[in-house]
Chain A
Amino acid sequence: MRPLSFEVDGWIILVGALAGAACAVPGSWLLVRGRLMAGDAVTHAVLPGIAGAFLMTGSRDPMVMLIGAAISGVACLLLAVLLERTLRVDKGAALGTAFTVFFAVGLVLIVRGADRVDLDPSCVLYGALELTPVDRVDWFGMDLPRALPILTTTLVACALASFLFFKELRLAAFDPAFANAIGARPLVMDLLLAALVALVSVAAFESVGSILVVALLAALPAAARMLTNRMGWILVIGPLLGAVAAVIGHASAILIPPLVSATATDTSSAGAIAVASGAIFAVCVALGPEDGLLPKLARQSRLRLRIAREEALAQLWRARERETPLEVASLLTLMDQSALRRRTSRGALRMLRTENHVSCDDGIHLALTPTGAVAASQIIRSHRLWESFLASRADIRPDHVHTTATLLEHVTTPELAIRLADEAASTTDPHGHSIPRAENPTQD
């Protein structure tokens, strides 16, 4: 294992981070516009333009490459529209066909040209991130890796466009019909977005390769979307995650292979950054505060526990009305009818014991404590109010209302209970049981 050095790895990580951040800016807009596929197409379609421009001029000047890329990118989108309109090919199929053909032509050009000039197909696909510190340029008197000023300019350009046209880009992405109606020209914003995608693909493909561009374009904005509901924050968090992916990716490309096999050396940093982007996305999907899997599971299990708790209280109240105390086992059997898992039911029971709502004085039979009785009466109240309402106002047969009322009693807020009491206007449920009075006197 080689030690990480600032002179080499510092530059590589910086270049990777800039590429990741730059790609995430137009990627965020593509994500919310639902156009990541078109972004994917443009990143591939620029390849023949880049190769052609290089083969014709022999220059690696970024401006020359950008012009070539713009020409082939636009040509590909036009071809896709042409296929769609004239031959009535499906939109996705037209785009998919057009960009793969363009990508293939680009590869053929590069392989043919590689005989004569220094252009490496694998470098185009996977990039040459490891070589960036070697390929240097003088920029305003500073001796820097060549990719650094290119990517910095690109990132600034993307950020500036997003800042200046934030409101127009957001409107065009959210509601193109309304944008059109007020003369905000959503089509111009689509073109601006396509131009930004072409720009980042050209700037980033040399260092990180065209395959990684796609990963950076999609994965990190999607990860950022899991963390926030604000467009502005997506545009900040997405690029930051891009930079994080570069650091994690490059470090693991050097540090992890030796752990797996003693003879292994560094793996491709660009590849590792793509994997890191995927990993970051996976973490955000798992932990995202609103739609994340783990918070969602936690919310669901809290809800199930609450329902089980209320169900247990209700059953104990009914047992007290029947004057037949329940044992733990028979209570659990009764709760099984509400499709509750045994584990949840037991958990709810433990909770009620620690809350001091339920006591078990003789070690066998369960009983409601005074505070437990108050809580139980309010659940029974909303259950029986619903039964009464459903039977008297919604004309549902009395023997049908129990199941529905069991569902509704758990979602009844105090405000809803007040309205329900007014509507139901009854002191007994359809089965003749009395409806407990409201605990809060204002509800009576």
Chain B
Amino acid sequence: MTTTNRIERHHYDVVVIGAGGAGLRAAIEARLAGKKTAIISKSLFGKAHTVMAEGGAAAAMGNVNSRDNWQVHFRDTMRGGKFLNNFRMAELHAKESPQRIWELETYGALFDRTKDGKISQRNFGGHEYPRLAHVGDRTGLELIRTLQQKIVSLQQEDKAELGSYDARIKVFDETTITELLLDGEKVAGAFGYYRESGEFILFEAPAVVLATGGVGRSYKVTSNSWEYTGDGHALALRAGATLINMEFLQFHPTGMVWPPSVKGILVTESVRGDGGVLKNSDGKRFMFDYVPDVFRKQYAETEEEADRWYTDPDNNRRPPELLPRDEVARAINSEVKAGRGTPAGGVYLDIASRRSAEEIRRRLPSMYHQFKELADVDITKEPMEVGPTCHYVMGGVEVDPDSGAAFGSVRGLFAAGEVSGGMHGSNRLGGNSLSDLLVFGKRAGGHAASYTDQLTVRPKVAIGAVEAAVETALAPLQRDTGESPYQLQQDLQVVMGDLVGIIRREGELADALGRLAELRERVAKVSAVGGRRYNPGWHLALDLRNMLVVSECTAKAALERQESRGGHTREDFPAMDPMWRRVNLVCSLNGDAVRLAHKPLPKMRSELIGLFDRAELAKYLTDEELADFDALVSDADAEEAGN
């Protein structure tokens, strides 16, 4: 075929797919390691979904409460993830996030300050101490802009030194990767298209970092943008990597449910951290009824105690509105199902009656602004209507915790951020994703760079694979008998939203798998009208197969896991089962079919498990594991006595 001759080719050391927080941080690190680095962005530079993160970035800097440290952060993260987290990732994350945040200040970030001039930190659901570095409620924007500007400053250095901004780091904006290309088991490059022209582009590179974010566009009600089609998950699968924890999706407890045009847009948890309370249609502050036993000790039992906490957190327990996200989402769901919801199917989030208008505007400026502009609702005067929204996927590429290198058969593939799995276990704490991006973005970028150093031969792209990729990409434009990609996406969203949503049942999940199989046939025949220039219909048609395979992973894993934990709630298995805590469900691709395997969780190192109370561990661990823990403790005691 002659088409491959005309494809634009680029040679890079490291190609980073995704230009959100993780991708940009990885690219900075690869460039600092001296590697020629490309950043591929599906949107314009600086528009990534990271901008949506409002609350902050969790890092145990101890600026507000000096008792905070990495051990406490680690504990909170494991607790939030219901102990299913990869402990090593949680450990690295807790230890390194303060440095990653401070580093941003050297790039020019301007966080809100404490009185003594340090970075201010705010309370957030699931975090024991005020821990989230923030900028009003636009922390994600600050983070992306800071990283974007750091990249520009590196480009300026390169321009001064080498005469070109793009000499060592180049951003390919509005470019989508459709295929990873391998040489045997080694990554050799990536193939994609410019959205603007529809022309194809081939990157030859020995190392690829996936930082493509999540999968939320497969759901009806979602806070995610159009880009979140699971590209990185699907690329990894097709390249021979594995996915873990795909059954765990976070439904943000408080997305807007009214008006319809903004359904799914999130109301930051800091509204609750700053005093907002949840009420049902009877006006009752219902969260007190939903405190699970494992959290009973840390949360207030009366409204009076809860209200005192805002000013005196050391002597009072936290309000139950600050329970982890999954608990709040489930509570809202139960209230709505019991007929105590709002007309639009949510509950009320009320801050108007609890804080002065001026204070609300100062503490939640963009929230106030957003509601005023989008919905003509004044949150200083009336309550908001909120409900659960698909927000974040905990599952993702199974990676080596230290390097971010993908497991499975592939070499030279790295993943960081939402597209990687394990860090957050079954449920992510608010604020942990922004710091996750930075910590593991840096690690993945750095390790991708050193991986290229130890290669003796540069992997080669096979022409046949490029030809196949071209054919696959053009297919929807050449068919005119298939269905519209928009219709197919809508159908997929209905299946996932209705059958693999926040509350799951065996029958529905089995039904979903059947429907996904039907959809797979239809998607294989999808056709897009129009030409190759900036044709969103065509782009969606190409994204669909990614969404589909990732949805299959989620549905399969959700059917397999017979318990409820974090972001996976089975109505037929409502309790946590310690046996299931020891298992990760690993998805891989066998031809076209998704294969599911059980894999034991790595065992936590003794000094880490020693950070927990036995009473707490008893809620999560099996008897066998508890016996191990007891033996450990008595060994330590004996040692101490011996000294």
Q: Do A and B come from one complex?
A: no
Residue ranges of B at the interface with A (Cβ–Cβ < 8 Å): none
